[in-house]
Amino acid sequence: MRLLIVGGVAGGASAAARARRLSEDAEIIIFERGEHVSFANCGLPYHIGGVIKERGKLLVQTPDSLYRRFRIQTKVKTEVVKINRDQKTIIVRDLISGQEIKESYDFLILSPGADPIKPPMPGLDLPQVMTLRNLSDMDQIKLKVDQNEAKKVIVVGGGYIGLEMTEALRERGVDVIVIELSDQVMGPADPEMAYYLHQELKKHDVDLRFGVSVKGFYPKGEGVTAELSNGETVDCDAVVLAIGVKPEASLAKEAGLEIGQRGGIVTNEQMRTNDPAIFAVGDAVEVDEFVTGLKALIPLAGPANRQGRIAADNIFGRKSIYKKTQGTAICKLFDLAIGMTGVNEKILKRMNRTYEKVYIHSNNHANYYPGATQISMKLLFDPKSGKILGAQAVGKDGVDKRIDVLAVALRAGMNVYDLENLELCYAPPYGSAKDPVNFLGFVASNVLKGDVVNCHCSDLASLKSDQVILDVRTVQEAQAGMVPGAVNIPIDHLRDQMTQLSKDKEYIAYCQVGLRGYLACRILTQKGFKCRNLSGGYLTYKASRGI
């Protein structure tokens, strides 16, 4: 059997290695347009920032290492320019010599990845305007920083790459301006969760520009001027475009393979295209989103690796299927991390799908053990079944653990009641007897059981005349800032001052994080009062308002 693979890195290299483990006799060849066949592209910003000192650490495999261990042939700086499906051949161009040759295949795997989005605008060809996709891009950016030629940099886009590059550049002492068209960074997160990232960026003196885009770049001396959509101009030494990526599907499209509405290559659950001899994996393919089942483009290394393995399995007669993509991911930003799995509230709103949500703000480990820090978490779930739909978390430590647990729970089809009963690791340095994941289950279950009626920050904008906001924090906390119009009765005085309240009113109770507000509602409802708890308390209120 002759197996040809177009593209290396996560999907292609994983497919090749799995294919060899399944067959010692197959001829396996990888064609890679770039200089490196398998590198840690997720590590590129960290070499620029100086965290990963040695460039060679980013090289996962080389042509020599792939051949020595797996007898896989690798041809770098070689571009596949055409697929002849009827002949089962490809046309390959040597990018150094320009020579083109024909290669035959029994099976073909496409793993071309994704290209950085470059909107049509003046100045994209300027040497100061760069993207970060491969090691050559990384070298170009790092050289400018090393030679002190990039004292002020514009980062266009506030997604994963944009944030990681912002951190890397600030760690090197570079002034950074982030230009983001939307009103938040980290688009997969909901706005009130992205708020914490905004605070962290401001803490590290990053200039955030929301609601504007770049119309063009123009040379100015050794640097460049960016013209913004609001009429402003910004001078800088260099630009990093991090607007996002799009599937590199042109080769597949020209070959007549099916392309989806999102622009990615269409495959079945075996990663097979509409041509039985051609498979596709990685960032170039459309996937089924796990919760909604909708087609999506979710460029992540983990799914690409699994897809490569699955494609190889099916080529060699092992029935293997890809079981959709959850979008589980995490991003480090200075001292914070943000993680997520499943869908966000924005998607659920667009789908007009009913859902409920809760927030908690818990410490990452036992309060009495030194070094405890807060994790802010959001859980989205079905209001009838309690089935988990998505989760987000922001904090200094322990975010990855909690999101990983919730990712497994989501894939396993668990509901919020199951979260209550999860038995998780506990010792004071690592967690609490009631882990934050358990707490999410407790809070969500209380809502479903009717033990408390939730109120959300958006509800406060349309209060009725018979509704009163009740702050049950201490007087000192209330004096430091409170929801406008609220009445302050500390929780410990509530029973004694209940005569001040009217059963003709409905009370919206809140505290700092939600726990005392819940306790206030339990007290009041059992005494015949109407009460709702502001989920997430004052901290979530501030985040939702951007205070």
Active site residues: 42
Q: Give me the residue label for tokens 């991390």.
A: 337
Q: Are 178 and 209 in contact (CB under 8 A)?
A: yes
| Contact between residue 251 and residue 110 where contact means Cβ atoms under 8 Å apart | yes
Residue 511's contacts (CB-CB under 8 Å, 6 or more residues apart) are 471, 472, 473, 491, 517, 520, 537, 538
Encoded amino acid at 34, one letter:
G
Structure-token pair, residue 203: 């803490």
User: Would you mind telling me the total number of residues written for the chain in this entry?
Assistant: 547
Measured between its terminal Cα atoms, the distance across the chain in Å is: 63
> Would you say 401 and 382 are in contact if contact means Cβ atoms under 8 Å apart?
no
Cβ atoms of 32 and 4 closer than 8 Å: no
The residue whose two tokens read 């041809």 is: 75
Beta strand pairing status for 287-288 and 278-280? unpaired
DSSP state of 63: H
How far is 274 from 289, CA to CA, in rounded Å? 20
**Given the structure tokens 């003709």, which residue do they identify?**
504
The number of beta carbons lying within 10 Å of the beta carbon of residue 307 is 27
Quickly list DSSP for 371-416: T--EEEEEEEE-TTT-BEEEEEEEESSSHHHHHHHHHHHHHTT-BH
Name the β-bridge partners of 225: 218, 235
Q: How far apart are CA 532 and CA 434, in angstroms?
A: 24
Whether 289 contacts 296, CB under 8 Å: yes
What does the alpha-carbon distance between residue 504 and residue 489 come to, in Å, rounded to a whole number? Answer: 18
Classify the phi-psi angles of 101: left when phi > 0, otherwise alpha if psi is within -120 to 50, otherwise beta. Answer: beta
CB distance 267 to 279 below 8 Å:
yes
CB atoms inside a 10 Å sphere around CB 332: 17
* Cα–Cα distance list, 391 to 230, 388, 399 (Å): 35, 8, 11
* Tokens describing residue 323: 């079981």
Taking a C-beta distance cutoff of 8 angstroms, is the pair 505, 467 a contact?
yes
